Amino acid sequence: MINAVFSYCATFEVDISNAEIPDGNFIVLMNGSWNSWGWGYQLDESDDANIYSGTFCGFENGEYQYIHSITGDFDSWSGWGLIGNPPLASDCDFNPNDSYQNYGFTINGSDVVNQLNSWNCCGVNECSDWDGCNSGALQTDQSYLYGRFEVRMKSADGDGLVSSFFTYNTNWDSGLGNLNWNEIDIEMTGNRDSTVQFTTHHPGTPNSWSYGEIIDVDFNPHESFHDYAFEWTPDYIAWFVDGDEVYSQGISIVDDMNFSQKIMMNLWPAVWESWVGTWDENDTPKHAYYDHVKYYSYNPGLGDYGTNNNFSLLWEDDFNHFNQIIWEDNSSGSFNGNLCSFNPQNTNYYNGYLILSLTDINDDINCNEVNGDFNYDNTLDVIDLVTVVNSILSSTSIELCQFLAIDHDSNDSVDVLDIIHFLNEIIGS
């Protein structure tokens, strides 16, 4: 009775005209903090096309935050297919001093009618002029329980960016929710030039929990390639940099890390500014480079590698091309906290590297051509070399795919060292 007397109603309204309205069946939701960001309130379309509204009751006095969401056939009804936020630090960004772009309202003894927002706008006029970004991702086809996981990589620099090598349980039981969560991370954030972060993410109800450390290293992970690895066993998880163990978690922490997981890599800009810094959406393109990945099975007492020789090499990929036996495309969709969407065109292979590129959404890239094929004739020859030299001397703008093809040393610069590599490759062929 008390709750019935002192609960109030909130009215929501959103115009989705400038959203990328999906094909097939879909609904519009208001997802919010009132139910820990679970499945939100469904809005109904009004007489005005593309304007959805609804009034919902049961709110106690207090502060609430929310976002607009479209979900449907296109995202398997996840509840988070398309997200509409207010522009960061705008008048209707409920807390402009945090890294979240949430609308919000306060219940203080009366009902609340929230203003009409257009998609990604504050009201209908103050809108973001940024269309978005694409990035690359990759994951294994198979999942692995325990083992040693190795990568040689060079991360992307720049505030707001995360370059990763990690494992993640994708085989969720729909009835368990966050009790499914298993994840082991190696991450480099572009705002830090002498650290690497190691983290485990654990199952929990209602929320999962995390444990990890940011470890100092004596190099800049964005400037050169280095070897990173972790060993995952039932008793411990240990992380390695250039062959040396630098961090570990014991059985009291990792005893619930027992779901098989896929190996994943991605590059993405995060909303959490206190962690990664403030991302400049105009700072594109950016690239994360991967030289090879190795997986060793956990084979205690019978292995020949790793701690106590407990691991055996199962496979290695040097990324000369896409290996469909090992990998599957993971370049679609996004996840909460990621400001980009993944796109297959942003995952490429050049000069013996897997390259994940972050680009403005309007940059149409379609790479994976012949290494160094500057004029796109599917042949590497002296004409390409002459064209590259002329381009460098005349400071001609180089297209993204051309840049990836001729930046042989992956130092984000096309210079005389690339020309030497280029010439050797032509002579060698």
- For the segment 215-237, the average pLDDT, to the nearest whole number, is 98
Residue 183 designated active-site: yes
Question: Which one from 13, 150, 183, 231 is the annotated catalytic residue?
Answer: 183
Domain stop point among 68, 99, 127: 127
Residue 62 shares a structural domain with residue 113:
yes
pLDDT at residue number 2: 41
pLDDT of 203 strictly over 50: yes
Residue 228 shares a structural domain with residue 350:
yes
Residue 104 within any structural domain of the chain: yes
Question: Which one from 150, 187, 231, 369 is the annotated catalytic residue?
Answer: 187
In the chain, the number of structural domains is 3
Entry field: residues in the chain: 429
Residue 71 within any structural domain of the chain: yes
Residue 241 shares a structural domain with residue 345:
yes
Residue 105 shares a structural domain with residue 158:
no
Residue 237 within any structural domain of the chain: yes
Residue 367 within any structural domain of the chain: no
Q: Each residue of 303-341: pLDDT tens digit?
A: 999 999 999 999 999 999 999 999 997 777 788 788 888
Residue 208 shares a structural domain with residue 150:
yes
Measure the CA–CA gap between 423 and 148, rounded to whole angstroms. Answer: 38
Residue 374 within any structural domain of the chain: no
pLDDT at residue number 426: 84
Q: Each residue of 36-51: pLDDT tens digit?
A: 999 999 999 988 789 9
pLDDT at residue number 99: 61
**Span of 1-15, 66-80, 96-110, 128-142 with lowest mean pLDDT:** 1-15
Residue 366 within any structural domain of the chain: no
Residue 115 shares a structural domain with residue 145:
no
Measure the CA–CA gap between 10 and 418, rounded to whole angstroms. Answer: 61
Residue 123 shares a structural domain with residue 157:
no
Residue 123 shares a structural domain with residue 144:
no
Instruction: Supply the pTM of this predicted model.
Output: 0.76
pLDDT of 350 strictly over 60: yes
* CATH number for the domain harbouring residue 286: 2.60.120.200
Residue 235 shares a structural domain with residue 288:
yes
Residue 245 designated active-site: no
Task: Specify whether the CB–CB gap between 196 and 215 falls below 8 A.
Answer: yes
Compute the mean pLDDT over every residue in the chain, rounded to the nearest whole number: 92
The values of phi and psi at residue 250, to 5°, are -90, -175
Domain stop point among 76, 105, 127: 127
Residue 110 shares a structural domain with residue 220:
no
Q: Could you list the residue range(s) of the whole structural domain that residue 81 is in?
A: 2-127
Residue 93 shares a structural domain with residue 217:
no
pLDDT at residue number 3: 44
**Span of 5-9, 41-45, 237-241 with lowest mean pLDDT:** 5-9
Domain stop point among 127, 156, 179: 127
- For the segment 29-40, the average pLDDT, to the nearest whole number, is 95
pLDDT at residue number 125: 85
- For the segment 246-250, the average pLDDT, to the nearest whole number, is 98
Residue 254 shares a structural domain with residue 344:
yes
pLDDT of 1 strictly over 70: no
**Span of 200-204, 321-325, 395-399 with lowest mean pLDDT:** 395-399
Task: Specify whether the CB–CB gap between 373 and 388 falls below 8 A.
Answer: no
Residue 368 within any structural domain of the chain: no
Task: Specify whether the CB–CB gap between 357 and 136 falls below 8 A.
Answer: yes
Inter-axis angle of helices 416-428 and 382-394, to 10 degrees?
Answer: 170
